[in-house]
Amino acid sequence: MEKKLKLIAITGPTATGKTSLAVRLARFFDGEIISLDSRQLYRTMDIGSGKDLSEYGEIPYHLIDIAHPSETVDLARVLCEIQIAIKKIASKNKTIFLCGGTALYLESLLKRRTLVLEEENPELRAELNKLELAELVDLISNEYPDAWNELNADDRRNPLRIRRKIENAMKTSSASADAVPPWMDFEILTIGVYLSRNIVRENISKRLDVRFENGMTEEIRKIHDEEKVSWEKLERFGLEYREISRFLQGKCTEDEMKSQLLNKIRQFAKRQDIFFRKIEREGFPIHWFDAKGDIFGKSCKLIETFLADGQLPPPEIILSAVINPKKLS
């Protein structure tokens, strides 16, 4: 019998140091990295998406810079590209790492989604019915921005309307792309980088200052002027791209833009936690390690056990036990 592939996913909220950890682990275990970040798919969107390509050094990476920002890369294509990258890395007998904070990609991988949807899909509807309003907003605004923009203000507060819009968007998405082929046989170990909410907030603020100093505003201006990407399309990428595009169009002052952007990114980090808690609830363990401790050493030990088909210990941290859900809404 052919041995199962072993996949190691490094995940967590924004500004927790996922990439640095993934690169160290890939270097130690002779691996390559597949990005699970919805905006790093696009060329020229470097500073705003936080690619940090210099961190990779000699470590090969995949699913970064695979499309022009004027294109639309739907979930079906992403899942197909992930499969291609997995097979390519496996053919070289390298360790397969996945890294990124787009929880939808991770969840789709864990559930082996194929997006072959029928007119009525009870399983999909049941999954969407489990999501809270904030989770639904995060899903539709980040993965189906066109559908999100079609909703009026009242509909954006209506979970039922958002669920139906997502169902229709997913049907359109799967029909317009090649169907995701059956998944190969694999096991996946998910490691989460945990930091307290206060530290994440501080990291977001510091990182945002650095990105502005590195020319993030000018980068977005060039994407519009030189890459001929419309302001409307840029705004659909959300966060940095939405708020800075609004500033460059004169819709707000620079101070207003920076203040709004900081708040939006912090809210985004909270929504990521909601999605990770959902993944835990559905029976997919995430082994969270505190980034302030020996996260590299603990991750190495866990990965060694996983690769050797050993018995994994229970996660040290359960996200729902350390984060108050009432503070995430």
DSSP character at residue 51:
-
75-107 per-position pLDDT tens digit: 888 999 999 999 999 999 999 999 998 988 999
| Element of type H or E holding 95 | strand 95-99
Nearest-angstrom CA–CA distance, 322 and 329: 16
Q: Are residues 111 and 218 in the same domain?
A: yes
Nearest-angstrom CA–CA distance, 70 and 7: 31
25-45 per-position pLDDT tens digit: 999 999 999 999 999 999 999
Q: Are residues 38 and 72 in the same domain?
A: yes
Residue 114: per-residue pLDDT: 79
Residue 1: per-residue pLDDT: 47
Q: Are residues 97 and 139 in the same domain?
A: no
Which of 150, 176, 202 corresponds to the end of one domain?
176
| Residue pointed to by tokens 């007119």 | 119
298-309 per-position pLDDT tens digit: 999 999 999 999
Q: Are residues 68 and 146 in the same domain?
A: no
Amino acid occupying residue 238: G
Nearest-angstrom CA–CA distance, 30 and 94: 6
Which residue segment(s) compose the domain that 98 sits in? 5-115+177-328
CATH number for the domain that contains residue 315: 3.40.50.300
Yes or no: say if 223 and 234 are a contact pair by the CB < 8 Å rule: yes
Taking Cα atoms as reference points, which of 150, 175, 179, 180 lies closest to residue 164? Answer: 150
Q: Are residues 245 and 220 in the same domain?
A: yes
Q: Are residues 102 and 210 in the same domain?
A: yes
Taking Cα atoms as reference points, which of 189, 240, 190 lies closest to residue 12? Answer: 190
> Which residues contact residue 122 at a Cβ distance below 8 angstroms, ignoring those fewer than 6 apart?
none
Yes or no: say if 68 and 223 are a contact pair by the CB < 8 Å rule: no
Residue 117: per-residue pLDDT: 47
Which of 133, 159, 176 corresponds to the end of one domain?
176
Yes or no: say if 149 and 238 are a contact pair by the CB < 8 Å rule: no
Yes or no: say if 220 and 193 are a contact pair by the CB < 8 Å rule: no
Q: Are residues 155 and 23 in the same domain?
A: no
Which of 176, 196, 225 corresponds to the end of one domain?
176
Residue 76: per-residue pLDDT: 84
Q: Which H, E and C letters describe 4-17, residue by residue?
A: CEEEEEEECCCCCC
Give every residue of the chain whose pLDDT is below 70, as ranges: 1-2, 115-121, 171-179, 323-329
Q: Are residues 183 and 169 in the same domain?
A: no
Q: Are residues 94 and 122 in the same domain?
A: no
Instruction: Give the burial class of 61: count Cβ atoms within 10 A of its Cβ; 0-12 exposed, 13-18 middle, 19 or more buried.
Output: buried
Q: Are residues 102 and 250 in the same domain?
A: yes
Q: Are residues 62 and 210 in the same domain?
A: yes
Q: Are residues 171 and 181 in the same domain?
A: no
Label residue 115 left, alpha or beta by phi (over 0 means left) and psi (-120 to 50 means alpha).
left
Q: Domain count of the chain?
A: 2
